[in-house]
Amino acid sequence: MRTSTHIQSLGFMHKYRKKLCPVKQRKMMDPQSNEDEHQLNNSAIKRYFENTNKGSASSVSMMTHEYNFPTSAATYRLRKEQRTIRKWLDDVDSYGSVLDVGCGAGSWMEIFAKRYNRVIGIDQSNMMVKAANEKLGHLSNVKIINGDVRHDLPKGPFDMIFLGGLCMYLNDADVVELLDALKTRLSESGAIILRESTTSRGKKYAQGQYQAVYRSVNVYNDLFSGSGAFHVDVQRNYGYTNLVTAEELVNLRRRWLPILPKDSISYDSLTWWGLRVIEPISFWALPRTLTQFNIPWPILQNHFFRLRLAK
Ligand SMILES: C[S@@+](CC[C@H](N)C(=O)[O-])C[C@H]1O[C@@H](n2cnc3c(N)ncnc32)[C@H](O)[C@@H]1O
């Protein structure tokens, strides 16, 4: 996941980069450089998720900590996301086992614990594991493991394996290896569900303290096919992109109205609630209309993917 503050822009996006990507210190790759040569540094990624800076572990996990949106904005996103993949979640047997890979502070595990028989989460951040344990430790069907998903996966089989904003922190080779390992832990009729921030084409990197790679849907499809035969379903995640729209507007305000305080609970909340009031336009008609004209807005999109073993 992550916001427009993190991405570099190419083509259309390049034209608007200066306007849309202000504030934070995060360094983007030089658009001219060979993007394939860049490798993410897992120590930096681990460090980032050990620190709340401002906000709580839960807001860092949901990546809402850099904006002063009300807590209900994160709830809104989660509720809308559940609606988007409701059918996929319904397809999983309620007696089944679920693995949440890169579970963060446990927002999705909480949902899974209510729906399914057994839920295991794994995350490499001590802070996230602690927060998830505080939130869910009392539930008898939940177990949380502190470990690196590249080495410490629990044994399967699982009826659903969920990766919410995880692959963006892994290099391509690690994604393919991870999917290979997850495939062997999937029950015959099981599904891997991923949620990832996406670009309109190619790959873009966030560098510096915050490191991530944003891939297009096509790049993800190539990675999936690199790890074997999957049936792939894709859905746009409007719950997430609506929040990113608000973040991009806050970034614009911070850049173009420097006389206003940069870090303002009132102005940030006002942006969120303003967009919610005109939701049929701001969150429904506008993104769909712009898509018709191939204009990516917000710059960073978000998609859900479902992978099932090809028979
Ligand atoms: C943006 S958060 C998403 C949390 C949660 N999945 C959600 O959807 O709310 C990404 C999480 O992935 C974890 N993570 C990143 N790389 C990891 C790795 N190699 N092994 C385990 N966890 C990792 C981070 O610690 C962080 O908690």
Cα(62) to centroid of ligand 1, in Å? 10
Cα(30) to centroid of ligand 1, in Å? 26
User: What is the pTM for the complete model shown?
Assistant: 0.86
Cα(163) to centroid of ligand 1, in Å? 8
* Cβ-proximal residues to 217 (8 Å cutoff; 6+ apart), any chain: 198, 234, 303
**Which residue, judged by its Cα, is nearest atom 25 of ligand 1?**
125
Q: How many angstroms separate the most distant Cα atoms in the chain?
A: 60
Query: Domain 11-240+295-309: which topology?
Result: Rossmann fold (3.40.50)
**Which residue, judged by its Cα, is nearest atom 4 of ligand 1?**
104
Amino acid sitting at position 46: K
Q: Is pLDDT above 70 for 35?
A: no
Instruction: Using DSSP, state whether 213 is helix, strand or coil.
Output: strand
Give residue limits of the domains in the chain: 11-240+295-309
| Mean pLDDT of the region 280-284 | 84
Residues in contact with ligand 1 by the CB-under-6-Å rule are: 1, 42, 45, 49, 61-63, 102-104, 107-108, 123-125, 128, 148-150, 164-166, 169
- Residue-wise pLDDT for 59-92, tens only, equals 778 777 778 788 888 899 999 999 999 999 999 9
Q: Which helix (H) or strand (E) holds 280?
A: none
Q: pLDDT at position 37, please?
A: 66
Q: Is pLDDT above 90 for 6?
A: no
- Residue-wise pLDDT for 149-174, tens only, equals 999 999 989 999 999 999 999 999 99
> In this predicted structure, which of 166-170, 187-191, 225-229 has the lowest mean pLDDT?
225-229
The tokens describing 179, both together, are 């999917």
Q: Is pLDDT above 70 for 32?
A: no
Phi first, then psi: what are they for 175, rounded to 5°? -65, -45
